[in-house]
A and B are shown apart, each in its own frame.
Chain A
Amino acid sequence: MTATLVKEASPPAVNMADRRRRARRRGRIIALVFVLPALLLLGALVVYPVVFSVGRSFFDASGSRFVGGDNYTEMFRDPATLKAVRNSAIWVVVAPTLLTGLGLVLAVLVEKIRWATAFKLLLFMPMAVSFLAAGIIFRLAYDEDPDKGVLNAAVVGVHDAFEGTSSYPTARARDGRGLTKGADGSYRTTASASPGHTVGLGLVGVLPKDLPKDAKPAYAAAGQQAARDELRGVVYLDFTPGGGGKEGRVDRGESGLPEVKVEAARDGKTVASTTTAADGSFHFSGLDPGSYTVRLPASNFSPPYEGVSWLGPALVTPAIIGAYLWIWTGFAMVLIGAGLAALPRDALEAARMDGANEWQIFRRITVPLLAPVLTVVFVTLVINVMKVFDLVYIIAPGPVQEDATVLATQMWLVSFGGGNNQGLGSALGVLLLLLVVPAMVFNVRRFRRSQR
């Protein structure tokens, strides 16, 4: 807005300066007439609201009591505002830098490929998507459930391709039924067993439909007698469908758990290991006499990999910045690309003749010559990032809203989103204004310089 004002006001002033006196006065009046509508509009739409907000920020929530600087002190006492200031700082530093960098790299690369226009068009397309729609898209893409969020689906898919999954991720033992849980998620028998004994290892928490197809009832296996040098046992599902089973005992109809890894340990060392059969039974034969602990290693129960919680408190701001990049990369690229097209070709060619390689040309010639354009893109983006609102508001889920908040969302939340304290909201608005002003002044200065 300020930039427009300067543009419209200064050329007439500059031109009038070297006219004759009489004409000068007339000219001034005409200039005033031309400028007046713009001044009026700017006054009504920019200056008045700013002044009003500044004034409003000195009053309390109802707007009737003057509280001086209380809103400002309150603002910096509130942890939510501090977090907003911190997040806004991250945004302002990270987003424009990444965008300008990405835009530059893409613009330089795109110049050299054949389908440049199509590629540019593709990258520019997200600019046509509204922030609201983009927010909804990314909220879904970032969803933690791999069945919904495409990013986590990819992450989990890659992970599972390398690691594989365990057979009973949900299974667990009941407390106080003969099995003790280890720190790593494994289970071992509380009492020790010696060859010639049969142990029952009851687990729960497996849905009947999640059992392997070949699983058989464990009742018969549980009743088998162990030979003298043999340690027998059965791993079974200690739950009778429909209820009625007795805890800690193999009831009829309770299923064995096949394919469970079982280890026999003596003095903390694993001496034998095996896997259970279809009815859940296992046996270690040829054991030396003595007492053993039977273990079910953690690998049986390792929970499925859940992917990355993109929208958790730690990653939510980077995730939203990612969505922002998706939208704005095309813009940065096209602007820098235009600057690139206007570069003097002879400088580049001279460098090539002198034997500079592409990297040197990029570092020593392209970037310095492009500096003015890069600055414009950077500063424009800084101003834009300051007011980012919709993406943050839409992508951040309720519980992490506060972890993702930036000044603009905080201002809205405090003034209208339930807080209804427009005094405090105005104070936040003034803070935001103060932070944007340096960038504005910088831009205006640059415009002036380039006009001279």
Chain B
Amino acid sequence: MMRRRTTLLASCTTLALALGATACGGGPVAAGGGGKSLSGQTITVAGVWSGSEQKNFQKVLDAFTAKTGAKTQFVSTGDNVSTVVGSKIEGGNAPDVVMVPQVGVLQQFAKEGWLKPLSKTTEQSVDTNYASVWKKYGSVGDTLYGLYFKAAHKSTVWYSPDALDQAGVKPPTTYDAMLKAGHTVSDSGLAAFSVAGQDGWTLTDWFENIYLSQAGPEKYDALAAHQLKWTDPTVVEALTTLGKLFKDKQLMAGGQKGALNTDFPGSVEKVFGPKPEAGMVYEGDFVAGVAKDQFGKKIGQDANFFPFPAVDGGKAPVVSGGDAAVVLKDGKNQKAAMTFLEYLATPEAAAVWAGAGGFLSPNKKLDLASYSDDIARETAKSLVAAGDSVRFDMSDQAPAAFGGTKGAGEWKILQDFLRDPSNPKATAAELEKAAAKAYQG
């Protein structure tokens, strides 16, 4: 009983906040034309979120209900969205809206003919509120199917301010400076980086940031689509650059062997845990969540970040990802679903979750003041400021056999490269071999 009351209270507060934001912002609110126009209808939303993410998204849903009168229901799909949604469609029980976590899945849905193009209103909001790259990643061909509601920022290097102060170094702005700062940190007695080599995906993220900055966005897109071969000299160069870090025992906690035995939570622990072994750890904005929830660090004070530095005179990379909302053709309440997406495209909806924390919005109209803490504000600012140079995680765009399988493809090959970084050329050839096989299948 107690619990229900608190939730009620919480949602009331958010509602008040949301309404307040609308009143103050006075932005173009297209949703539902006001009033309780959709009362009596129920829309079902499916997504991968669970736990606190689901709870916070529920606040967004509640705000929508309060605005339009439509009832909402959230279904958590677990990790494998495409399988769950596919079986629901076949079973005649399709959800109205799905939050898809990867570009590849969105394209797969569109190809299967499951998606309905988004309404004109939503498209207009996307045109005015978002950098055009987000529209591109939400479209298949020229048709807009997906609206990116929640984004991730995967170009953040997290550090312990104590460790950097102890070593007397400042957050670097170039890759070489970062390695140099790393050496100084290592001289002070801590390893510079903790690398989560046991989880292949962290290594692909390292590579993607270096490649995006060094080779530029055009090459990045070509490589992501496998129009460019992995044997390309730019890939070899990026691997060489990454190898500078991997082959240096002083820079990685535990050396190569230690890195290969560290999983992602372990790598955060090595920097922010009770017994620090390293000063910096690279991964996305979600590092903050782990540092805060598991190790009780105060974000902004005991844990801070600097943007992934520029490599060889390139622009500092911003690698991203996100959850896109799509409307299913087989859903029962498509009109309400469209209205819901129109609502999600507004800064008002984004502000609801931004205030609850653990959220980044690619919506540039969202007032940065809506974020609950400074670090989220900083990451959001960097994401929005990057505008059209934002690129999506390459391995998420690749077929799963190449970019998303434990012990195979890119994950495995980069782990081998971490074990022995002496021959980038051979590694590139391996990558090309695996990619050729996966993309053709």
Contact = CB atoms under 8 A, between A and B. Distances in A.
B186 A398 contact: no
A433 to B, nearest CB: 24
A174 B126 CA distance: 55
A413 B401 CA distance: 9
A418 B200 contact: no
Interface string B160-195: 000001111100000000000000101111100000
B401 A419 contact: yes
B408 A239 contact: no
B167 A243 contact: yes
Contact of B189 (A205, A242, A402): A205
A413 B407 CA distance: 9
A92 interface: no
Interface string B404-419: 1111110110011001
Given A399-B412, A419-B405, A244 B400 contact: no
B261 A241 contact: no
A421 B441 contact: yes
Contacts of A354: none
Contact of A61 (B167, B419, B441): B441
A244 B169 CA distance: 10
Contacts of A174: 187
A419 B441 CA distance: 9
A65 to B, nearest CB: 12
A156 interface: no
B260 interface: yes
Interface residues of A, number: 35
B198 interface: yes
B199 interface: yes
| Max chain B C-beta neighbours (<10 A), residue from A238, A401, A405 | A401
Contact of B188 (A241, A311, A401): A241
A210 to B, nearest CB: 7
B362 interface: no
B197 interface: yes
A153 to B, nearest CB: 15
Contact of B261 (A397, A417, A418): A397
B409 A418 contact: yes
Given A309-B257, A402-B412, A418 B189 contact: no
Interface in B407-441: 407-409, 411-412, 415-416, 419, 441
A208 interface: yes
B257 A210 contact: no
A244 B399 CA distance: 50
A251 interface: no
Interface string A372-401: 000000000000000000000000111101
Nearest to B170: A243
A208 B162 CA distance: 13
Contact of B260 (A208, A239, A241, A399): A399
A417 B419 CA distance: 24
Contacts of A311: 261
A442 to B, nearest CB: 34
A242 B257 contact: no
Interface core residue of B169, B250, B407 (most chain A CB under 10 Å): B407
A244 B167 CA distance: 9
A144 B257 CA distance: 10
B184 A243 contact: yes
B187 A239 contact: yes
A170 interface: yes
B414 to A, nearest CB: 10
Given A413-B407, A419-B408, A420-B441, A399 B197 contact: yes
Contacts of A141: none
B188 A207 contact: yes
A398 B168 contact: no
Contacts, number: 95
A32 B186 CA distance: 79
Contact of B168 (A238, A243, A405, A419): A243
A398 B189 contact: no
B437 to A, nearest CB: 9
A207 B187 contact: no
- The listed residue with most B CB atoms (<10 A of its CB), out of A402, A417, A418, A419, is A418
A398 B411 contact: yes
Contacts of B404: 418
A398 B184 contact: no
Contacts of A239: 187-189
A99 B199 CA distance: 34
A447 to B, nearest CB: 39
A203 to B, nearest CB: 10
A390 B190 CA distance: 38
Contacts of A396: 407
Contacts of A418: 400-401, 404-406, 408-409
B169 to A, nearest CB: 7
Given A243-B184, A413-B407, A401 B169 contact: no
B263 to A, nearest CB: 8
Contacts of A144: 261
Given A61-B441, A205-B187, A243-B167, A401 B406 contact: yes
A399 B419 contact: yes
B400 A420 contact: yes
A132 interface: no
A399 B401 contact: no
Given A397-B198, A418-B400, A402 B407 contact: yes
A415 B183 CA distance: 45
Contacts of A419: 401, 405, 408, 441
Interface in B280-333: none
Given A205-B189, A398-B198, A242 B168 contact: yes
Given A170-B189, A399-B419, A419-B401, A243 B409 contact: no
Contacts of A420: 399-401, 441
A206 B169 contact: no
Contacts of A370: none
Interface centre among A80, A396, A399, by most chain B C-beta atoms within 10 angstroms, is: A399
A145 interface: yes
Interface in A327-344: none
Residue of B197, B199, B263, B408 with highest tally of chain A CB at under 10 A: B408
Contacts of B197: 399
Nearest to A209: B189
A247 B165 CA distance: 18
B406 A398 contact: yes
Interface string A401-437: 1100100000001000111110000000000000000
B416 to A, nearest CB: 8
A420 B441 CA distance: 8
B187 A398 contact: no
Given A397-B261, A399-B415, A401-B412, A208 B407 contact: no
A204 interface: yes
B37 to A, nearest CB: 44
Contacts of A401: 406-408, 412
B405 A145 contact: no
A210 B188 CA distance: 11
A204 B174 CA distance: 25
Which 9 pairs, one residue from A and one from B, show the smallest C-beta to C-beta distance?
A: A243-B168, A401-B407, A418-B405, A207-B189, A204-B187, A399-B415, A418-B400, A418-B401, A242-B168
22 contacts: A204-B189, A206-B189, A207-B189, A238-B187, A242-B165, A242-B168, A243-B184, A244-B168, A311-B261, A397-B263, A398-B407, A398-B411, A399-B200, A399-B260, A399-B416, A399-B419, A402-B408, A402-B412, A418-B401, A418-B405, A419-B405, A419-B408
Interface of A: 61, 80, 144-145, 170, 172, 174, 204-208, 210, 238-244, 309, 311, 396-399, 401-402, 405, 413, 417-421
Given A145-B261, A205-B250, A401-B407, 8 more contacts: A204-B187, A210-B189, A242-B165, A309-B261, A397-B261, A399-B416, A417-B406, A418-B401
Interface of B: 165-169, 184, 186-190, 197-200, 250, 257, 260-261, 263, 399-401, 404-409, 411-412, 415-416, 419, 441
